Every structure is written in C-alpha cells, then in structure tokens.
Structure 1
Amino acid sequence: MRLKLVAVPVLLALILAACNKKQKDQTIGEGSTPGRGASVPPSASAPPTVAPVATPTAPVKVAIDQTAQVIVYGYHRFVNQVRRPDTEITPQMFEQQMQELKNRGISVIGMQDFLAWKRGEKNIPPRCAVITFDDGWKSQYDVAWPIMKKFGYTFTMFIYTEGVRGGHFGGGEAITWEQLAEMRDAGIDIQAHTETHQDLRKPYDKVAKKKLSPPEYEQWLQNEVGRCKETLEQRLGIKVNCFAVPYGFYNQHVKDVAKSLGYEAVFTVYGQPITYRSAMDSLGRYLIEGNKPKVFADAIGMIATSSGGGAPVAEIGSSNIASKPADGETIRNPLPLISANLSAFGVIDPGTVTMRVSGLGAVPASFDPKTNTVSYQVTQKLRDKCSVIVEAKSGGKKVEAHWTFAVEGSGATTSPTPKK
C-alpha cells in the first residue's frame, strides 16, 4: 500500500514533464527558429518552400526604322454643302481621300503608335498617316467616324473643352461628352486643343473681352493649356499627352508652357513630313480645306518616294539653322528671301545642297561655303502655309532640315474657327 502511494506522485511528475516538453516543442515549431539540434515535431506544419528568384531578363530591343516618314492630316467639319471651305469638306471628298491613302499604300496609324515610334519603343510601316479632327464638331461623330470605320482607320480628336455641348461655345453642332465617351470606349484617341480656342500668343481674353496684364496673361495661358488637359482627363478618365495649338499660332513661350504641363507632343498646322528626329514641340499637320484638294495630294507626294529601308537621314532641328523666315513665323511679304545657316550639318559637299519649297518644288537656291548659308529669293508670290526642306551630304551621309512659316493675308491663319 505504501508503495502505491509513493508511485502516484512519481507518475504525476513524469506526466507533467512530458506535457511541458510537448508545449515547448510546439512553440518552436510555430514561429521561433529552432536552435541547433532542435527538431520540429511531426504535428507542426513544415515551413513553406521558397521558390528561387528568377533573374529578370532584359527587354528585347525593337528594331526601329528611322527612315520611316509620317504625314499628319487635320480636318474640321463634314457637310454636304460647303460654305466655309477653310474648315469644311464634303463626306464624299473625305472618303475619296481615305481611299487614296489605301490605294497609295500609306498606312493609317494611331497617335499613340506614332509617339511610341518617336520614343524608339515601337516600329511603324515605312510610310504612314495620322488622321486628326479638330474642335469637336458633331459631324465628326455622325459623318466622319462611320467612314473611318469602313476603312478600319483610327484617328485622334483634338478637343477644346468649351466647345463641347454645354460649354461657352458648345452649340447645337457641337459634340457631346456622351459621344466622346462612346468614341473613347471604341479606342479613339482624344487630346487637347485649349479651353476656348484663342491665339495663345496674345494677352487678350476674347471671352472676357479684356486685355490681360502680364500676370493675368500667364494665369490665362496656364488655364487654356493646362485646365483643358485636366478637364478631358477628369471627364473621360483618359491620359492626355498631345496638344494642338489653335490656328497654328505659337511661340517658344507657348511651347515651354505646354511642356511644363506634361504634354509629350505639340502640333501645329504647318504641314511637313515628320521623321524620326523631328522636334516634338512643333509637329506640322496638313490642314485640309474643302477648296484646296491639292494640299492632300502634295502631302502624299512628299513621302510617296519613300519606301523605307533606305540610307539613314540625319535631321537637324530648325532651331539650329537660323532659318529665315523663322519656323512658325507669320510674314507679310509674299516674296521673301528664304535662307538657313547649315553649319550644324558639319562639313558639307557644296554640290549636294538642295532646297524645296511647298508649292514650288525644287528651287535654284545658292550656297555660300564660306558662311555655310543657303538662300533663295522667292519670285512667285507665296500663299498659305509654306514648308521648306533643305538637304545636303556631309561625310557621305544625307542630312536635312525643314521648317514652316505662313504668309499673312493669304487665308492661312486668319480665318477663325466657327463657333458652335
């Protein structure tokens, strides 16, 4: 009997020691790091297996065709009876032009594909066109869009926000926000064209009908260029990275403001073929008018001889050649002396210097190797918007520069966009 009484406490002590050990082992298995020699009990979950980290591979570099060329067309309103040919065109003529692009083998690409090519991120066909519609006319939705669908073409809408239905200029012929949202959902690119469609160089607010002081002008300019972008992004939930200046009027300050507000590209109405190295702050568009079908044909002719894969062309920015008239300038004299300093081209072969002027073709320009200046005195009155292309060979390689200007009083930039 005494033996049994002694054995009971001993058994209780052994059971208690076993429980304490089991609890300790469980605690180690649940979260702590076991010490050397410690083992995880079978009842505890095994630690998850960590997969080896894959070494990131470098992205495949896209082979970019730097000899490709792009023309950008700009349209406004589509009507059966043209009353304002500076901003109107018939649906029949528009459809014929879209067919002509197809017949000539010119690929219509989207704005964002064009920008990706300019960034060196994506390749494009050798000869391309980008189609743009300005302001926000209802006929762009009702008339032009179905025609574009027929060809499978995409396009970009440059919208000035107070011209949308319900805005200060948004009358019955204006597009609506609902229509813009429908186009957005279908993949149409929508970009900025200011708030109220005014000459951004002048310190005058035509809506408020007042001359602006320097501080007022700066705030007004910020609103016109920046608030338009914000409105489009907020109302449509999109990213806006392109800006088209109204009437093609701009200066360096306007371009600087646009860049500071986050625009990647600025478009004008001074048409010219766009190359891989064209400056992004003054990309020229060919503005199509109902009574000037030759503008459309001339634009095609500017790139028709390009088949891609040719010898690389180095392009010099217009700001580096001291061109006269200057790029983007509006002049009064229809018979100007056109000149440029080609020092930035390098050592030039004088016999290879050529100059082309839109509407005139190749002109008999003279080149002075002492000053590296090429010049041509115009003998036929220039009209509308003029593009100049200067080419030469330096070190056996082709180098070119181009710029545009307008002639005042010719109708190139003086016709206001009709209010909606």
Structure 2
Amino acid sequence: MLFFSNVSQATVVLVYHHVSESTPKSTSISPKQFEKHLQYIKDNGFTVIPLNEMIDSLKAKKPLADKTIVITFDDGYSDILYNGHPLLKKYGFPYTMFINPDSVPNKPGIYLDWQQIKQMSDEGVLIANHGLKHDSLIKVPAGTNADDWLEQKLTELQQSEEIIEQQTGQSWKYFALPYGEYTPIAQQKLADLGYAVVTQQSGPVGDSTDLTAIPRFPASMPYDQLAPLKDKLNSVAFELSQQTQRSSTVVDANNPIDTNVELKVDDFYPTMLACFVAGKGQAEVKWHKDNNGFTMNFDTTFAAGRQRVNCTAPSISKPGRYYWYSKPWFVPNKDGSWYKD
C-alpha cells in the first residue's frame, strides 16, 4: 500500500574542502565552478539555511522544509576565506566550517589562523568541530586497544570544542567525522555526549535522519559538475529505521557485511528501487514479505578501504526527483591493519 506524506521533503547538505585551482583535485572546486553552484541554487527555488536550523528541526521532530540546502566546509583551509567566503557573502548564503584546532597554528598559509577564523565567525560563519586532530575514530594504531583509542578521540573532541568556544565564542557540539568513518559504538557514545554528527556518505536529510549519521553530498571534483549536482540537490530522503542507520560499518572476519535495510515504503514503488555497489555493479534486491525493508545480494568480497552502496527510487508525487540512500562500509587489510588514505 502506498500513501503520501511529508516524507518526500528533504534538506541537502553539501560538503566542500578547498575553493582553489591549485590544491588537490579530489578535494577542490575552482572558484568559477563554485559560483556556478551558488548561482544554480539561487535561480532554482532553493533556500540555503544555516546548519543549526536544520539540526534544531531534527531535534524538535519538526518537518524539514523542502528544497532547503546547507553548505559546509571541512578542514579550515585558507582558500575558503580568500575564495569561497566572498562568493558566499555575495549570494547571502550562510555556511558552516568544521575545523581541527591542532591544524590552526601548524601550517600558516595552508590553514586559517585563529584571527581569520574569528573574523569569519564575527561575520556569521558557523564554526564547528572536526576533532582536535584529523584522526579517524576507527583506525586504531598498531598495539592500541580499540576502546581506548575511541575514548582518547572523544576526550580530544571535548577539548577541541572548548578551544573553539574560547577562540570564537561558538559551541554547537556539531561534529564532522574525519574521513567519514564511524561505528555504531561511536555513534552511541557521541549521542551520549550530545553531539550531532555529519558524515561523508551521500544522501539527503529527512525527518527520520539519525542525528549521529547525517549524510552530506560531496560537491568537489569529480562531483562538481552541474548535471549530477542537480540530481543531488533535488533528491528526497527515504524514511529509514534507526537500526538501519546504526548498523555495522566495519567489515572483517568477525563482522560480515550487513546488507539489510529497513524503511517505510512511501511515495515510491518497491519494484523501481535500485542499489549499486561501488565496483560491483547493481545488487539484487529482495524485499521483505511486508515491504518494510529489503536485503541486498551481491559479491561480498571487498578490497580494503572505504566502500559503499547507493540506493535510489523515483518519487511518485514529485516527478523527476529521486529518493537516495547511501551506506558506507570500512574494510581493514587482511592482516587486520588499517588501509592508508
């Protein structure tokens, strides 16, 4: 049975890093192309809202307005101020910058200094937490206990929040996961500490989005062209169960791949849903008898590294728009060591 509701509303969060033509392409967008993004957003009925407005709505269980966008930057590079900030001011768009306080004094000219960050803060930029250092929560150094490592990173996260507040007067308790890597245990501990957490897997944000795994669409190269960006900006969010959003992420001998997805069938036909696994092609989708979810079947032999699946289905009530869900998995090397970035 299909029924329509406000589930087919969505806020899309975009993540950028560099706005420059001379920085690594995998994390960069040129100033010219970045302005094309902003102009498209302005001309096509979208509203850019600050991150706190979206998170406050999620916390209050308040429906998100449709076709709203949140703009974020990770790492606090100086070119954000020189090249990105003037364009965002020109278009009147609010944005958030996630920083690692340990990076601020270490590489002047590459990273922003505290004076520059405070200037941006005073001009309305929301400054948030990317961890004290740019360390993954899950990549445990050899000889270190995984639980001890996570506790150390969470302690540093709290230290980072205090430093940001001291330097800027802002303390939102918003955390952008370094490398987008996390586990269900980390999610629960971050929730217990009161953090809203943004990731790096693709997908729009809907009313059911878990505050410990808020998806963001990468918008730097090679994802910076307008054609694919339009599809992302117009995407809508599946209504997913919390269990699905907190399912296992690390895949090794002790943790088989969790390919089960629980969601509400609303405003799309189950037969139209398709899931594509990176490097493996389309997965076979087997729906549960009551249509409250599905299981994906595919070759589960993953190479070490960050892996993912993207599932989409066309909306019935909003022709031309697609529901979108992305699931990340993190696969250690065969010897148990972690892959290098």
TM over 0.5: yes
Question: 1:284 is matched by which residue type in structure 2?
Answer: P
Mean alpha-carbon deviation: is it higher for 193-202 or for 119-128? 119-128
1:193-232 equivalent positions in 2, closer than 5 A? 193-204=130-141, 211-213=143-145, 216-232=148-164
Instruction: Report deviation, 1:235.
Output: 1.9
Counterpart selection for 1:119 from 50, 59, 64: 59
1:402-417 equivalent positions in 2, closer than 5 A? 402-406=325-329, 416=341
User: Residue 12 of structure 1 corresponds to which residue in structure 2?
Assistant: none
User: Residue 190 of structure 1 corresponds to which residue in structure 2?
Assistant: 127
Mean alpha-carbon deviation: is it higher for 284-293 or for 241-250? 284-293
Mean alpha-carbon deviation: is it higher for 236-245 or for 117-126? 117-126
List structure 1 segments (4+ residues) > 6 angstroms apart after TM superposition. Answer: 358-364, 370-373, 381-384, 390-393
Question: 2:219 is matched by which residue type in structure 1?
Answer: I
Q: Percent identity?
A: 21
User: Residue 28 of structure 1 corresponds to which residue in structure 2?
Assistant: none
User: Residue 68 of structure 2 corresponds to which residue in structure 1?
Assistant: 128
User: Residue 16 of structure 2 corresponds to which residue in structure 1?
Assistant: 75
1:3-402 equivalent positions in 2, closer than 5 A? 67-82=8-23, 84-120=24-60, 125-164=65-104, 166=105, 169-204=106-141, 211-213=143-145, 216-263=148-195, 265-293=196-224, 297-298=227-228, 300-302=230-232, 304=234, 315-320=239-244, 328-329=249-250, 339-340=259-260, 342=262, 345=264, 352-357=270-275, 365-367=285-287, 369=289, 374-377=294-297, 385-389=308-312, 402=325
- Cα pair distance change 1:99/1:378, threshold 3 Å: farther
Distance in 1 between the 2:296 and 2:30 partners? 38
TM-score by length of 2: 0.76
Question: 2:136 is matched by which residue type in structure 1?
Answer: D
Q: Name structure 1 gaps, 5 residues minimum.
A: 1-63, 205-209, 307-312, 394-399
User: Residue 21 of structure 1 corresponds to which residue in structure 2?
Assistant: none
Aligned-residue CA RMSD in angstroms?
4.1
Distance in 1 between the 2:325 and 2:242 partners? 6
Q: Name structure 2 gaps, 5 residues minimum.
A: 317-322, 333-337
- Greater Rg over alpha carbons, structure: 1
Instruction: Give the paired residue count.
Output: 317
TM-score by length of 1: 0.63
- Cα pair distance change 1:337/1:79, threshold 3 Å: same
**Secondary structure of residue in 2 paired with 1:118:** helix
- Cα pair distance change 1:341/1:146, threshold 3 Å: closer
